[in-house]
Amino acid sequence: MWTFIHKWGSPKWFYSMSGKLQPWFWTVSLLLIAVGTLWGLAFAPADYQQGNSFRIIYVHVPAAFLAQSIFVSMAAAALVFMVWKIKIADMAATVMAPLGAVMTFVALFSGAVWGVPTWGTWWMWDARLTSMLILLFLFLGVIALRSAFTSRDSGSRAASVLAMVGVINIPIIKYSVDWWFTLHQPATFRVTSSPSMPTEMWLPLLIMVLGFYCFFIALTLMRTRSEILRREANKRWVMDLMKEAH
Amino acid sequence: MSLCLEARQLACERDGRWLFEGLDLTVRSGEILRIEGPNGSGKTTLLKILAGQLGEYEGELYWNSTPLRKAREQFLANLLYLGHSPGVKAGLSPLENLAWYQALNGDKGSEEQRLEALAKVGLNGFEDVVAGQLSAGQQRRVALARLTLTRRALWVLDEPFTAIDRQGVTALEAQLAAHVQAGGCVLLTTHHALAVTSTVRCVQLG
Amino acid sequence: MSLQRTKAAPAVVIVEAPAQGSLWIAFKATLERDLTLMLRRRGELLNPLVFFALVVTLFPIGISPDPDMLALIAPGLLWVAALLAALLSLDSLFRTDYDDGSLEQLLLAPQPLAILSLAKVVAHWLFTGLPLALMAPLLGIMLALPAGSYAILSLSLAIGSASLSLIGAIGAALTVGIARGGVLLSLLILPLYIPVLIFGVGAVQAALLGEGVAAHLAMLGALLAASLLLAPWAIAASLRISING
């Protein structure tokens, strides 16, 4: 177990392993997203109430799921970095923050677009959208704090503490916002309970969610690799790598 | 009773740059250890690590042959650290400043002790003046009064001679010598040529 | 004027650990020190209160002086304004200690840093959160807040602002090493204030509707208990990061 962690903690080893894993994740994610999109947009039945506009769910829900998962995984990486001082974890947390912010924005934007046919307005202070908006602010805070420090090491540690404080607060914020929003609808889709949607509607959704997750893993691997090169630019193995490439 | 602070293969990396690597040093009772090096060579960082303030280092530190990470509380109870900034609150009088420092160690102390310590650093008549109205050198002396007030074995001093006049320097040198003679030890950085009779060992950085 | 020679210094003693009961002495001394320092700068002490009153004044001007309308928004408005006033004063919580080097010394005290920083937070709450809570009913009158909710307004603010001080101190500790960290501090901390705001306003609104306020107050109390338990450790960790720039 320990040797495993230390192996993955070595930037060089991570770089070569992630290079091998990366194409698989890209292929699987593109495949899943393509299948999910086609199925969801063309073959899934229209909603009896919302008509075709409900199909935006195939972007909105995966993005919202992913955004929250990214915050949790960022905080987990921060914890690993703070406890075991594994630098690769911090590099991953560094690249996850902007990805999470973009995903949160996608969820908010698709939610707003969905709002036009459903509520007749671009923005409603609906519980889920409000929580998403707060999540966006949390992501922006982590990014801003990291970049505010002149020393990269201190910035990393400060951002890690904030990510951990944030992840403790996310369930509290979600709960309190739900409480505040008395007219809220139950969450669309839970993995644990049986969905209220018909199978032909939620199956493509599940495929899309999985596709988004694979996409996130692939993108994180790719961006962590460039972060490794950036931070270890003066290390021997990176220099050798660059020589080979030329 | 003797004391010993030891660093084995100490290394510190900041933002991808090694400040120092593979540093071994030991300081025992009755010794003055002076850390030398050009600006930016990591003297202050090394002092902060040795004072237990900075935890981001590689290698191991030992306090009386126990790893420092395990004996932290005991180590801190024997440490007196004076940094670049004197740590004197401008809004409090020298007496109140010293009282807080005593209490921070869990010792209520007495007014007489504090008055005596202030007299020793030549601050008679300034005991109740708000420290913000004192000069930089006088504020420095308030901080130095802690050396007599709080009896600690290990002194870690970062540029202790800054902003002090010539007489003050002589007196501080005498105090350092007396401290090591009494079995204490001193770790310090300074650009000033130390005129101390006891042995001063040097560690060169950079 | 000279430093006198130390004559025949007594042998140096090596202590095993800080004496028993020393934590309480250190906690009390730190609390008293901060309170004394705040009392010596009374002007700064009044700033959050004046800010609170000013923000509340802006709303009748900006929205409408109609008492019915004001009564409707008063609970939320008072809470938001008090929250911002508390936030405003947080930036200086560790700033002066950081600048004059006493924060460094606080870190090196042979006492748990979490407990000592808690003393500073308590001082902050005593001189910001509590006065804001006591002043809120006065501004409530100006906003035509209906009778029957004044006590709950003060109580909810008193409990809530303690959580605000604790959570905010994490942000203050994280940004103390950054030259102009004030705006960043609000960016980091405001999202974390939302649960406290929701239950605080909820309590006042429930009181206005004649419903039970116990649930809201219990939630505020739970938030306070959780922050009391967790925030000091986060503050201590953040201070250790900030001290190294």
CA atoms of A177 and A197, how far apart (whole Å): 25
Q: CA of C21 to nearest chain B CA: how many angstroms apart?
A: 7
Which among B90, B92, B181 has CB closest to C36? B92
Q: Test C110 with B105 for CB contact under 8 angstroms.
A: yes
- The residues spanned by each domain of chain B are 1-78+156-206, 90-151
Q: CA of A168 to nearest chain B CA: how many angstroms apart?
A: 25
Q: What's the confidence (pLDDT) of residue A185?
A: 46
Residue A19 CB neighbour total at 10 angstroms: 12
CA atoms of C152 and C183, how far apart (whole Å): 31
Q: Is the pLDDT of residue B73 over 80?
A: yes
CB B49 within 8 Å of CB B25: no
Q: Test A152 with B56 for CB contact under 8 angstroms.
A: no
Residue C172 phi, psi (nearest 5): -65, -40
Could you tell me if C39 lies within 8 Å of chain B, comparing CB atoms? no
Which among A134, A154, A165 has CB closest to C170? A165
Q: Test A231 with B14 for CB contact under 8 angstroms.
A: no
Q: How confident is the model at residue A2 (pLDDT cuts 50, 70, 90)?
A: low
Which among B1, B105, B153 has CB closest to C109? B105
Q: Which residue of B has its CA nearest to A234?
A: B16
Q: Which residues are paired to A51 by β-bridges?
A: A47
Q: Which residues are paired to B67 by β-bridges?
A: B62
Provide the edge-to-edge strand list for the sheet that holds B200-204. Answer: B79-82, B154-158, B185-189, B32-36, B200-204
Instruction: Report the mean per-residue pLDDT for chain C.
Output: 91
Q: What's the confidence (pLDDT) of residue A192?
A: 39
Structure tokens at B3: 């004391």
Residues of B in contact with C2 (CB under 8 A): 122, 167-168, 170-171
Q: How confident is the model at residue B200 (pLDDT cuts 50, 70, 90)?
A: confident
Q: What's the confidence (pLDDT) of residue B197?
A: 66
Q: CA of C242 to nearest chain A CA: how many angstroms apart?
A: 7
Structure tokens at A112: 């707003």
For B21-67, how does the pLDDT look when each residue is reduced to its tens digit (9 = 90+)?
A: 889 999 988 889 999 888 888 888 899 999 988 888 888 999 988 99
Which among B83, B96, B151 has CB closest to C104? B83
- The residues spanned by each domain of chain C are 44-242
Q: Test A151 with B15 for CB contact under 8 angstroms.
A: yes
B5 closest CA partner among B206, B193, B184: B184
Could you tell me if B163 lies within 8 Å of chain C, comparing CB atoms? no
Host H or E run for residue B187: strand B185-189
Q: CA of A231 to nearest chain C CA: how many angstroms apart?
A: 19
A residues 10-39 near B, CB within 8 Å? Answer: none
CA atoms of A170 and A164, how far apart (whole Å): 10
Dihedral sign from CA coordinates of B88, B92, B98, B103: negative
Residues of B in contact with A152 (CB under 8 A): 15-16
Tell me if residue B4 falls in helix, strand or coil. Answer: strand
Dihedral sign from CA coordinates of A93, A99, A104, A107: negative
**Which residues are CB-contacts of B203 (< 8 A; sequence separation ≥ 6)?**
B23, B25, B33, B34, B35, B36
Kindly list the partner chains of chain A, i.e. chains with 3 or more CB atom pairs below 8 Å: B, C
Q: What mean pLDDT do residues A92-107 have?
A: 96
Q: What's the confidence (pLDDT) of residue C5?
A: 44
The amino acid at residue C75 is P
ipTM: 0.91
Structure tokens at C174: 């994280």
Structure tokens at B168: 């003050």
Q: What's the confidence (pLDDT) of residue A12?
A: 87
Q: What mean pLDDT do residues A198-223 have?
A: 92
Q: How confident is the model at residue A6 (pLDDT cuts 50, 70, 90)?
A: low
A208 closest CA partner among A31, A43, A51, A45: A31
Could you tell me if A232 lies within 8 Å of chain B, comparing CB atoms? yes
Q: Which of A161, A164, A167, A170 to mutate to test the interface with C (most CBs of C within 10 A)?
A: A161
Q: What's the confidence (pLDDT) of residue A196?
A: 66
Host H or E run for residue C241: helix C214-242
Q: Which residues are paired to B6 by β-bridges?
A: B26, B62
For C156-174, how does the pLDDT look when each residue is reduced to its tens digit (9 = 90+)?
A: 999 999 999 999 999 999 9
Q: Which residue of C has its CA nearest to A170?
A: C192
Instruction: Report the mean per-residue pLDDT for chain B.
Output: 89
CA atoms of C29 and C116, how far apart (whole Å): 10
Max intra-chain CA distance, chain B: 51
Residues of C in contact with B4 (CB under 8 A): none
CA atoms of C26 and C107, how far apart (whole Å): 12
Could you tell me if C100 lies within 8 Å of chain B, comparing CB atoms? yes
C150 closest CA partner among C166, C127, C126, C134: C134
Q: What mean pLDDT do residues A135-153 have?
A: 95
For B98-119, how does the pLDDT look when each residue is reduced to its tens digit (9 = 90+)?
A: 999 999 988 888 899 999 999 9
Architecture of domain B1-78+156-206 in CATH? 3-Layer(aba) Sandwich (3.40)
Residues of B in contact with C108 (CB under 8 A): 51-53, 76, 79, 81
Could you tell me if B142 lies within 8 Å of chain C, comparing CB atoms? no
Q: What mean pLDDT do residues A133-139 have?
A: 97
Q: Is the pLDDT of residue C4 over 50?
A: no
Q: Is the pLDDT of residue C8 over 60?
A: no
Tell me if residue B6 falls in helix, strand or coil. Answer: strand
Q: What's the confidence (pLDDT) of residue A189?
A: 43
Percent of chain C clearing pLDDT 70 (strictly above): 95
Q: Which residue of B has its CA nearest to A152?
A: B15
DSSP at B14: E
Q: Which of C42, C108, C113 to mutate to test the interface with B (most CBs of B within 10 A)?
A: C108
Q: CA of A172 to nearest chain C CA: how many angstroms apart?
A: 7
Q: What's the confidence (pLDDT) of residue B204?
A: 84
CB A117 within 8 Å of CB A49: no
Could you tell me if A149 lies within 8 Å of chain B, comparing CB atoms? no
| Residues belonging to chain A with any Cβ–Cβ distance to chain C shorter than 8 Å | 134, 137-138, 140-141, 144-145, 148-151, 154, 157-158, 161-162, 164-166, 168-169, 172-173, 175-177, 179-180
Q: Is the pLDDT of residue A19 over 50?
A: yes
Which among C9, C29, C111 has CB closest to B100? C29
